[in-house]
Every structure is written in structure tokens, then in C-alpha cells.
């Protein structure tokens, strides 16, 4: 079906197809609804089908390679390993290749070439087989492969298959016809669709693309706005939630400041409400400032009040709780509630931890509440993280104005221990954050300790669309700067796809596809109509050409006239007869050419009369002689010369216009033939009657009066009868020779002959004839070395005819000149007389049959008018030529030219 390309060109075609398919894969990704893998329209499927249909099945490697490379790029963005990417790309490429091959095979099977798609049925077959039907293959194979490598969940398989099938189908419905418009044969049909199909569809696609981008942008902005709004709501809720720890610690500080010394029971009573209603509180504590010198007395005091086993502790390097080392000052947890879950914290020296001590010193020096960074709580397991809110308490319950006084008058700290996870979970439990990843950072902490909350591993890939939607919200907690980072989870866009733009795109693609099909059907119908019109036009043209050829080649003249008698057109025979050019004759009145019908003023009425079958009389006024039969009239040539014609007029109707056809025959030649015939009859009558009368008279005299006629007179009568008999024989022979020459039955016995010998023989044999007329033959230069190939008797007949004619037309006492000369390779015989010559008007007729300058019964000379005609035919049968010259009043010279056979004897 397709010509096999040379290997080099074949390789280039595969490479071009692979590159084009790859580019179409990447382009199609822009029509995907993020974060899906399947695109709404996949142009590559249309490119693959067009390649198979236009260039043949052998280009399938280009489809496979382009699909494989394109899918490697696209699949690498999904959360699957490289091996699965490669396997999936191979599987999808196989499906794409099989789809193109199957579509091409079905189209070639069910649609006859050429694929001009000018029939609606062929268009629907083409797009149906290549689109919806064959696209089942790639969609099915692709979904199975993606599910097999874990890139497509079972629940999304149907949706994925549907989207895949639609994308490939639209790719075929739109892309393949557009490629055919620019590349497919027959070009005379497809190239016309560039402006009638390709341009409108391209404009529609561009408008659809712009609309899709706009709607997708609007939807994306709306989804992003909703995400931002939800994130701000959570941030606001967190802000409100963080007021509780702050207010709890602040109220506890005011409680201590106003009450002075507080017992453990009073402490528990005060904190009970906060602990009950705020589950994120790990503990509320009173941390006393204990100078090193008072350590022992402080321990005894606490053992007496509440805790028999009270001691001041710290963590050793291995994380065990051990007695605190000796140091200048201690900050042990003196009171702690709830007590049951925080036994290990009781007596723990916060000053033993560098970070805690730093926070304590900062709170003491600044005289305000501060927060620690993320710490591992000694309560619970080592993985429990939290933060501390510390508020310094000074003697007399008033915050000193100077750092020195603050350090000197510091009595301790009220402290809240809060579990970070519970702070945020308490808020997030009231919001649907399943599609949101919250990362909270403490920007006041070192980089390694920034993370307060969240799982960074749950963040989407940095290159994914979701990553670009991250919201950073600053958050102030006491003296620390936090940052709330809200990022859509990996499945966020999967749950919040911009379906409106997707549905709009698919609806628009369906419209464009139907629009394209409509344009193909309309242009196909137009192409068929144009082809039919062209065929009909060609047929009509051929018919017109045939009619025109008949019109122009018919021997009769034809003139078409309108009802007013104006000439519309005329054929070549009429133009030649009248001597006009077409542009000169058009529009003239017929009466200008044929004056005899000038009296006919209403041709239409005349034709109508004829059509009704009325009989016309001979009155000139009705012109009946010209309708339906030929009548002889006189016509005028352009130069004014009159000539006879036969004329007949008939009516015809063309598109409602009544026209009349005048058929005329120039009968000038026929008249001349009639004249010649009459002259021939006259000549034959004269030539026969004269000798027969003489013979009859002689024989009558001999028969009736034999006894009274002397022997001498009888002999003369017999001689006269014999001469006239010979004359009759010559006449009959001339007539027979003429018919033999005309029918080709005359046989020539040619031999090499000496032309001079024939001339001398002719002179000798005709001398007596010349003497009888008182004329003398006078030979001039006679070349005696000219050989010709000729029939002796027939060439002698020509010489005799020329000699006798010269004698007849010479005056008595005249001389007939005779020469035979060589002219190059031609032997020329010339015979000249000095008579009156040949009249100019008769010269064109000299060699015609039965023609004589004087053909009347009273002419002076005898003859049938056949001699020169026979002589001309004989000379031409010898490959020669006979001609003459005859200046007025100077006689005539006849020439016979024959080819020389040899230069010498």
C-alpha cells in the first residue's frame, strides 16, 4: 500500500515520529487536571494513527519509542520507583502502538482508498473506528499497567480508564483530521480544507484552550483560597487556644503574688479547674528559688509538708533521675499538679538543664512570662515533647524595675508544662485537617530544634503542585516567634480537582469534535458536488466541443440569428463563404448578407407560421420558401461579390430565448460543375457529332451515288471517314485513360529511357499534324544525355499532347519552340507557342477535366479538354511536375520536369 522508504529515510521518519509523539505527550500534560496523570485530550494518539495511515505500518517503532520516552518523563513525577516507571512506560507504549495499528487496520479494511473523506458514511467510519473503538485498547492496557505498578488505586481505575479513553478519543477525532488536511492525498480535496476546516477548528481550539486555562485558573484560585481560608481558621483557633496556657500561668502568678505563702493543698485547689478543662496541660508547677546553703533545710521542709521522699534531682548523662549536684542555687519543682502523673518532676532542678536554666534566667531578668523551646519532658517517656511557660515571682509580689533587683528579689517561678502535640491536636480535632499537613516551627530556636509539631515526611514532593500552595503564618507565643506552615497533603488536589474546568474542556472538545465532523461532512459534500459539477462541466464541455466541432467542421454554413434577424454566431464554413471574421459578423443583420430576405421583418412570426404547419405561397412577403427546405438565393461576400447559396431556416429555443438557425450552402462550385458538365456535353456532342456527320456523309455518298463518283473522289471520302474514325477512337481513348487514372487502374511499365530520344520521336510523329496547320517545330537546346525512368508510350502521349496543343494554338506560319535542358537533377522539357495565350481567368482551370478556354459549339479548335488533365496525371505518376507560363498575348510555354535517373548514358 505504501512505498517502502530507503533505510536512511525510513530511520529519519521513525526518529521524527518518535520526537513528534514525545512532544505531543508533554503537550498533552497541560490538558491534565492536576494532579492526575491522565489528560483530557491526548494529541499523540491522533498523530500515531495519522502516521500509520499515511506512511504505513512500518513506522510503529516511532510510536513505541515516542510513547516510552514521554511516559518515562511523566511517570517519574509519580510516587513509584524507577523500575516500576520503566515497566509502566513499556506497557503503556505497547498499548499505544497496538491502538494505532488496530485503528489503521480497521480504517483500511472498511474504507476504500482514497481517504478523501467526502462521504458522511466514510467520515463516521474513519473517526469511529480510529477514535472510540480503537482507543479502548490504550485506555485498558494503560489502566491495568498503572494499577499493576501501584500508581493507580483500585477505586480510581474506572475514573482513570474513562478519562484515558476520552483523552485518546478526542486526540484522534481532532488531531488526525488536522494532519490529513496538511499531509494526506488527494491534495486537491484536503488542501481546500485548510481554510474551511483547519482554520475554524484551530480558532475554536485556541478559544477553548484560553477558556480552559481561564476557568482552571479561577477554580485553582478558588481551591487555593478555600485552603488558605481553612488554614487561617486553624491558625486563629490555635491562637485562641494558646491564650489558655498563657492565661493559666498568668493567673497562677497573680494567685501567688496576692496570697503570699501557699500550701500544697491550696495550690492543688487553684489548679484543679485548669487541669480539668485543658487536657494539653502536662503540669502546673511552683518552682522555688533555693540557695545552695538552704538546700538541706528546704528538703526537710518539703518532706514535712507533703512529700516524705522529697529531694532535689537532676538527670545524669544517661537520662536517669539522680540527686542534684551541689551548685549555688537550685530551682526545684516544689509543687506540681496533677501530682500522680508528675511524681518524677517533683524536686527536679530546672536549673540542672542548660536550656531550662537559660529560660529561667531570661524570665527573671526580663520580669515577664517567657516560653521555652521544644523540650523533652521528664514526665512520661522520653519521646514526649512539650514547652514551658515561666512567669517569675518576686518578693512582695511586685516586679522590680532593675535587673539587679529582679535577681536579688526573685522568690521563684510559676510554670506551666504543656504537651505540644495536645495543644495542636485539641484544635485540629475540631477541623478537618486530613488533607492538610501542619508544620509548626520555633523560629527563635536553633535550626536543628525548630520543629515543634508535624511530620515533615508527610509533606508532598517539592516539585508537586501542592508544595507551591504552602502558607506561612507567623505566630507569637510569649517571647518566642513561631511559624505555622500549612501545606496541602499529597492527596489534596486529588480530592479537590477543578472538575468544572475538566467538564468544560471535555464539553468544549466534544463541541470542537462535532464541529470538525460537521465541517468535514460539509466540505466533503462540497468536494463531491464540485467534482460532479466538474465532471458534468467536462462532459458539457466535451459535448459543446463536439457540437462546436460539428458546427465548425460541417461543410454547410450555419448562421444563428435572433428574432430581430441579428446574427448571433456563425460557423467557419459560413465565415469563409462570406469572408468575415467572427467579431465582424456578430450583430449584423442577416439581410446584409442575404438581401433577398430583407423583406422578412418578423422571423419569429415566420417560424411560428411554419411550426403550425401552414402552407406558404410564393409571395415574397411571407418567406415560406426558406422554412424547412432549401431555396436558392443570392448572397453577398464582404467584398460585395454576389454568389449563389441554398438557404433553409429552422427554429430553436435555448433557455427561453427563441433563436433561428440558417443553414446555407455555397453552390458556386456546383454551379461551376453544372457549367462544366454542360460544356462537356457540348464538347462531347461537338466532338462526336462532327466526325460522325462526316463519316455518315461520306458513307452516304459512297452508298447512294457510287456510279457517279470518280475513284479519286471515293478515295478521298474513304480517307475522310477513316480520319474521323481515328478522331473518335482518340476521344474514346482519352475518356478511358481519364477513368483509369482516376481509379488507379492505369499500369505504368517504367524503364530507363533517353528523354531526348522521346522528344525527337514526338517531333517526327507530329510533324504531319504541324504541317497541316502551317506550323513548324523548331527544336532548340536538346540535351541528349538525360536518362529518366518512364513508361515510353505514356510519356510519348504527354509529349504528343503538348506538341499538338502548341500547334493548335499557334497562328498559321507560326513556330513551336522545343527545348530539353538539365536543371540540377531535373530534366526540363519546354514547349512554347506564340499564339494568343491562355486567358488569366482560365489559367487556374487549365489542368481540370473537360475545360477549354472556348467550350462552345462554335469554337474553332477541336478537343475534349482532357489532354492536359491526363498529361498532368501521367507526369505526376512519374514523380514529376507539369506547369506553364502564359503572359497575356504572348502565347504559352508548358514545362515537364522529371527526375534524372543518371547523369550520362
Which residue ranges form the domains of the chain, and what is each CATH number? 7-191 (1.10.1760.20), 239-430 (3.30.450.350), 554-666 (3.30.450.20), 672-737 (1.10.287.130), 748-899 (3.30.565.10)
Question: DSSP for 874-904?
Answer: HHHHTT-EEEEE--TTS--EEEEEEE-S-S-
Residue 4 has pLDDT above 50, yes or no: no
Question: DSSP for 93-132?
Answer: HHHHHHHHHHHHHHHHHHSPSP----SHHHHHHHHHIIII
Counted residue by residue, the chain has a size of 905
pLDDT of residue 208: 83
pLDDT of residue 619: 45
Report whether 689 contacts 874 (CB < 8 A). Answer: no
Distance, in Å, from the CA atom of 489 to the CA atom of 481, rounded to the nearest integer, reads: 25
Q: Which of 356, 306, 308, 307 is nearest to 330 (CA)?
A: 356
pLDDT of residue 686: 58
- Highest average pLDDT, of 100-109, 226-235, 580-589, 682-691, comes from 100-109
Strand partners, 473: 484
The crossing angle, in degrees rounded to 10, of helices 157-183 and 499-553 is: 30
Residue 151 has pLDDT above 90, yes or no: no
Q: Which three cell numbers stand for residue 605?
A: 412570426
Distance, in Å, from the CA atom of 828 to the CA atom of 817, rounded to the nearest integer, reads: 14
- Phi and psi at 480, nearest 5°, equal -110, 150
Report whether 55 contacts 2 (CB < 8 A). Answer: yes
Distance, in Å, from the CA atom of 194 to the CA atom of 180, rounded to the nearest integer, reads: 10
Distance, in Å, from the CA atom of 459 to the CA atom of 441, rounded to the nearest integer, reads: 14
User: What DSSP state is assigned to residue 196?
Assistant: I
Q: Which of 88-102, 257-271, 324-338, 802-816 has the lowest mean pLDDT?
A: 257-271
Strand partners, 650: 661
Helices (H) and strands (E) in the chain — how many of each? Answer: 26, 26
CA of 592: how far to CAs of 291, 647, 663, in Å? 151, 15, 16
Q: 206: how many CB neighbours lie within 10 A of its CB?
A: 10
513528534: which residue's cell?
20
Distance, in Å, from the CA atom of 866 to the CA atom of 869, rounded to the nearest integer, reads: 5
Q: Which three cell numbers stand for residue 729?
A: 477512337
Distance, in Å, from the CA atom of 277 to the CA atom of 248, rounded to the nearest integer, reads: 11
The b-or-e profile of 439-465 (16+ CB within 10 A means b, else e) is bbbbebbeeeebbbbbeeeebbeeebe
What is the DSSP pairing of strand 815-823 with strand 776-782?
Answer: parallel
Residue 796, classified by CB atoms within 10 Å of its CB into exposed (0-12), middle (13-18) or buried (19+), is middle
Q: What is the percentage of the chain residues whose pLDDT exceeds 90?
A: 31
Q: Which of 141-150, 325-334, 618-627, 636-645 has the lowest mean pLDDT?
A: 618-627
CA of 821: how far to CAs of 576, 759, 787, 818, in Å? 43, 12, 12, 10
Handedness of CA 6, 12, 13, 15 (dihedral sign): positive
Q: What angle do CA 728, 732, 735 make, to 5 degrees?
A: 140
Residue 159 has pLDDT above 90, yes or no: no
Distance, in Å, from the CA atom of 475 to the CA atom of 243, rounded to the nearest integer, reads: 12
Distance, in Å, from the CA atom of 467 to the CA atom of 483, rounded to the nearest integer, reads: 17
Distance, in Å, from the CA atom of 359 to the CA atom of 104, rounded to the nearest integer, reads: 77
pTM score, whole prediction: 0.53
Q: What is the pLDDT of residues 621-638, one digit of tens each?
A: 444 555 666 788 888 888
Q: Which of 63-67, 140-144, 187-191, 333-337 has the lowest mean pLDDT?
A: 187-191
Q: What is the pLDDT of residues 744-792, one digit of tens each?
A: 667 888 899 999 999 999 999 888 888 889 999 999 999 999 999 999 9
Contacts of residue 766, Cβ cutoff 8 Å, sequence gap at least 6 = 777, 800, 803, 804, 807
HEC profile for 589-657?
EHHHHCHHHCCCCCHHHHHHHHHCCCCCCCCCCCCHHHECCCEEEEEECCCCCEEEEEEEEEEEEECCE
Q: Which three cell numbers stand for residue 308?
A: 516524705
CA of 105: how far to CAs of 171, 704, 874, in Å? 18, 115, 77
Q: What angle do CA 68, 71, 74 make, to 5 degrees?
A: 155
Element (H, E) at 262: none
Q: Which of 618, 596, 616 is nearest to 662 (CA)?
A: 596
The crossing angle, in degrees rounded to 10, of helices 43-55 and 60-75 is: 170
Q: Which of 360, 325, 322, 359 is nearest to 344 (CA)?
A: 322
Q: Which three cell numbers stand for residue 20?
A: 513528534
Residue 433 has pLDDT above 70, yes or no: no
Strand partners, 533: none
pLDDT of residue 405: 93
Residue 57 has pLDDT above 90, yes or no: yes
pLDDT of residue 59: 93
Q: What is the pLDDT of residues 76-128, one digit of tens each?
A: 877 678 888 899 999 999 999 999 999 999 999 998 777 888 888 999 999 99
In this prediction, residues 285-297 reach a mean pLDDT of 93
CA of 675: how far to CAs of 666, 743, 861, 863, in Å? 15, 24, 19, 17
Question: What's the pLDDT band for 603 if we cut at 50, 70, 90?
Answer: low
Give the distance from CA 828 to its chain's centroid.
73
Residue 836 has pLDDT above 70, yes or no: yes
Report whether 696 contacts 662 (CB < 8 A). Answer: no
In this prediction, residues 300-326 reach a mean pLDDT of 89
Q: Which three cell numbers stand for residue 749?
A: 511499365
Residue 326 has pLDDT above 70, yes or no: yes
Distance, in Å, from the CA atom of 347 to the CA atom of 327, rounded to the nearest integer, reads: 15
* Three-state secondary-structure class, residue 855: coil
Longest dimension (CA), the chain: 219
pLDDT of residue 621: 44
Distance, in Å, from the CA atom of 465 to the CA atom of 252, rounded to the nearest integer, reads: 47
Instruction: Give the N- to C-terminal CA distance of the chain in Å, as an integer.
Output: 75
Q: 389: how many CB neighbours lie within 10 A of its CB?
A: 26
Question: What's the pLDDT band for 229 if we cut at 50, 70, 90?
Answer: confident
Look over the chain and give the mean of its residue pLDDT values, rounded to a whole number. Answer: 82
Residue 736 has pLDDT above 80, yes or no: no
Q: What is the pLDDT of residues 369-389, one digit of tens each?
A: 999 888 887 665 556 788 889
Report whether 766 contacts 818 (CB < 8 A). Answer: no
Q: How many CA atoms lie within 13 A of 376 on its CB side?
A: 7
Distance, in Å, from the CA atom of 201 to the CA atom of 518, rounded to the nearest integer, reads: 11
Distance, in Å, from the CA atom of 894 to the CA atom of 883, rounded to the nearest integer, reads: 6
475554536: which residue's cell?
204
Q: Which three cell numbers stand for residue 465?
A: 503542585
Q: Which three cell numbers stand for residue 273?
A: 479547674
Residue, of 830 and 224, whose pLDDT is higher: 830
Report whether 126 contacts 179 (CB < 8 A). Answer: no
Residue, of 662 and 380, whose pLDDT is higher: 662
Amino acid at each position: 500500500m505504501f512505498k517502502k522508504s530507503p533505510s536512511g529515510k525510513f530511520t529519519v521518519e521513525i526518529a521524527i515520529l518518535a520526537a513528534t509523539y514525545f512532544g505531543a505527550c508533554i503537550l498533552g500534560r497541560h490538558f491534565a487536571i492536576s494532579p492526575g496523570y491522565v489528560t483530557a485530550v491526548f494529541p499523540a494518539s491522533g498523530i500515531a494513527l495519522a502516521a500509520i495511515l499515511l506512511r504505513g505500518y512500518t513506522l510503529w517503532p516511532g510510536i513505541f519509542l515516542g510513547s516510552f520516552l514521554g511516559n518515562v518523563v511523566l511517570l517519574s513525577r509519580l510516587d513509584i520507583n524507577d523500575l516500576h516507571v520503566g515497566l509502566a512506560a513499556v506497557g503503556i507504549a505497547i498499548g499505544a502502538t497496538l491502538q494505532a495499528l488496530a485503528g489503521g487496520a480497521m480504517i483500511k479494511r472498511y474504507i476504500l482508498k482514497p481517504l478523501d473523506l467526502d462521504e458522511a458514511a466514510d467520515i463516521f467510519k474513519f473517526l469511529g473506528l480510529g477514535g472510540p473503538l480503537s482507543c479502548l485498547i490504550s485506555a485498558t492496557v494503560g489502566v491495568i499497567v498503572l494499577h499493576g505498578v501501584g500508581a493507580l488505586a483500585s477505586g480510581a481505575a474506572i475514573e482513570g480508564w474513562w478519562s484515558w479513553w476520552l483523552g485518546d478519543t478526542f486526540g484522534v477525532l481532532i488531531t488526525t483530521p488536522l494532519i490529513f488536511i496538511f499531509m494526506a492525498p488527494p491534495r486537491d480535496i484536503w488542501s481546500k480544507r485548510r481554510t474551511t476546516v483547519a482554520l475554524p477548528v484551530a480558532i475554536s481550539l485556541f478559544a477553548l484552550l484560553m477558556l480552559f486555562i481561564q476557568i482552571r485558573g479561577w477554580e485553582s484560585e478558588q481551591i487555593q483560597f478555600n485552603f488558605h481560608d481553612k488554614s487561617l481558621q486553624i491558625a486563629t483557633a490555635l491562637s485562641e487556644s494558646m491564650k489558655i496556657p498563657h492565661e493559666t500561668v498568668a493567673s497562677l502568678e497573680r494567685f501567688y503574688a496576692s496570697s503570699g505563702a501557699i500550701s500544697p493543698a491550696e495550690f492543688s485547689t487553684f489548679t484543679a479547674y485548669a487541669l480539668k478543662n485543658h487536657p494539653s496541660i502536662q503540669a502546673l508547677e511552683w518552682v522555688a528559688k533555693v540557695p545552695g546553703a538552704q538546700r538541706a533545710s528546704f528538703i526537710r521542709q518539703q518532706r514535712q509538708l507533703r512529700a516524705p521522699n522529697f529531694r532535689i534531682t537532676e538527670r545524669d548523662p544517661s537520662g536517669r533521675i539522680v540527686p542534684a549536684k551541689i551548685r549555688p542555687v537550685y530551682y526545684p519543682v516544689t509543687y506540681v499538679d496533677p501530682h500522680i502523673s508528675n511524681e518524677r518532676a517533683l524536686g527536679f532542678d530546672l536549673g540542672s538543664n542548660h536550656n531550662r536554666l537559660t529560660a529561667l534566667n531570661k524570665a527573671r531578668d526580663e520580669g515577664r512570662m517567657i516560653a521555652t523551646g521544644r523540650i523533652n519532658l521528664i514526665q512520661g517517656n522520653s519521646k514526649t515533647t512539650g514547652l514551658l511557660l515561666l512567669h517569675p515571682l518576686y518578693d512582695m509580689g511586685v516586679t522590680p524595675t532593675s535587673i539587679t533587683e529582679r535577681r536579688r528579689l526573685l522568690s521563684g517561678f510559676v510554670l506551666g508544662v504543656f504537651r505540644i502535640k495536645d495543644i495542636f491536636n485539641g484544635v485540629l480535632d475540631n477541623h478537618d485537617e486530613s488533607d492538610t499537613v501542619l508544620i509548626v516551627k520555633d523560629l527563635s530556636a536553633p535550626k536543628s530544634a525548630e520543629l515543634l509539631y508535624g511530620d515533615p515526611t508527610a509533606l508532598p514532593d517539592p516539585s508537586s503542585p501542592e508544595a507551591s500552595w504552602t502558607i506561612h503564618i507567623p505566630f507569637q507565643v510569649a517571647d518566642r516567634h513561631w511559624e505555622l506552615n500549612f501545606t496541602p497533603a499529597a492527596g489534596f488536589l486529588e480530592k479537590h480537582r477543578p472538575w468544572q474546568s475538566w467538564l468544560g474542556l471535555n464539553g468544549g472538545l466534544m463541541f470542537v469534535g462535532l464541529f470538525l465532523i460537521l465541517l468535514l461532512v460539509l466540505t466533503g459534500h462540497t468536494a463531491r458536488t464540485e467534482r460532479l459539477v466538474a465532471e458534468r462541466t467536462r462532459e458539457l464541455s466535451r459535448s459543446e466541443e463536439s457540437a462546436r466541432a460539428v458546427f465548425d467542421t460541417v461543410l454547410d454554413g450555419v448562421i444563428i440569428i435572433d428574432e430581430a434577424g441579428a446574427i448571433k454566431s456563425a460557423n467557419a464554413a459560413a465565415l469563409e463563404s462570406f469572408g468575415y471574421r467572427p467579431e465582424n459578423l456578430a450583430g449584423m443583420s442577416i439581410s446584409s448578407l442575404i438581401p433577398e430576405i430583407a423583406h422578412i421583418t418578423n422571423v419569429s412570426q415566420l417560424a411560428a407560421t411554419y411550426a403550425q404547419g401552414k402552407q406558404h405561397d410564393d409571395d415574397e412577403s411571407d418567406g415560406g420558401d426558406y422554412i424547412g427546405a432549401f431555396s436558392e438565393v443570392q448572397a453577398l461576400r464582404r467584398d460585395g461579390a454576389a454568389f449563389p447559396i441554398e438557404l433553409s431556416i429552422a427554429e430553436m429555443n435555448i433557455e427561453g430565448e427563441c433563436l433561428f438557425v440558417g443553414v446555407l450552402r455555397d453552390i458556386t462550385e456546383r454551379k461551376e460543375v453544372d457549367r462544366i458538365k454542360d460544356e462537356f456535353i457540348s464538347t462531347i456532342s461537338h466532338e462526336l457529332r462532327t466526325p460522325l456527320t462526316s463519316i455518315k456523309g461520306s458513307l452516304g455518298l459512297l452508298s447512294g451515288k457510287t456510279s457517279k463518283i470518280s475513284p479519286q473522289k471515293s478515295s478521298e471520302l474513304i480517307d475522310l471517314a477513316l480520319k474521323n474514325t481515328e478522331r473518335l477512337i482518340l476521344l474514346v481513348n482519352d475518356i478511358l485513360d481519364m477513368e483509369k487514372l482516376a481509379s488507379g487502374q492505369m499500369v505504368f511499365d517504367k524503364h530507363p529511357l533517353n528523354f531526348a530520344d522521346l522528344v525527337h520521336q514526338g517531333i517526327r510523329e507530329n510533324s504531319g499534324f504541324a504541317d497541316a496547320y502551317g506550323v513548324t517545330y523548331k527544336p532548340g537546346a536538346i540535351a541528349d544525355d538525360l536518362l529518366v525512368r518512364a513508361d515510353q508510350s505514356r510519356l510519348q502521349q504527354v509529349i504528343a499532347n503538348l506538341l499538338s496543343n502548341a500547334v493548335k494554338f499557334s497562328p498559321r506560319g507560326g513556330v513551336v519552340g522545343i527545348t530539353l535542358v538539365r536543371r540540377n537533377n531535373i530534366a526540363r522539357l519546354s514547349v512554347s507557342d506564340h499564339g494568343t495565350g491562355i486567358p488569366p481567368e482560365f489559367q487556374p482551370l487549365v489542368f481540370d477535366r473537360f475545360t477549354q478556354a472556348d467550350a462552345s459549339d462554335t469554337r474553332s479548335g477541336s478537343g475534349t479538354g482532357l489532354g492536359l488533365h491526363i498529361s498532368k496525371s501521367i507526369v505526376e505518376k512519374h514523380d514529376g511536375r507539369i506547369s506553364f507560363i502564359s503572359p497575356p498575348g504572348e502565347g504559352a510555354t508548358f514545362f515537364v520536369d522529371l527526375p534524372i535517373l543518371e547523369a550520362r548514358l
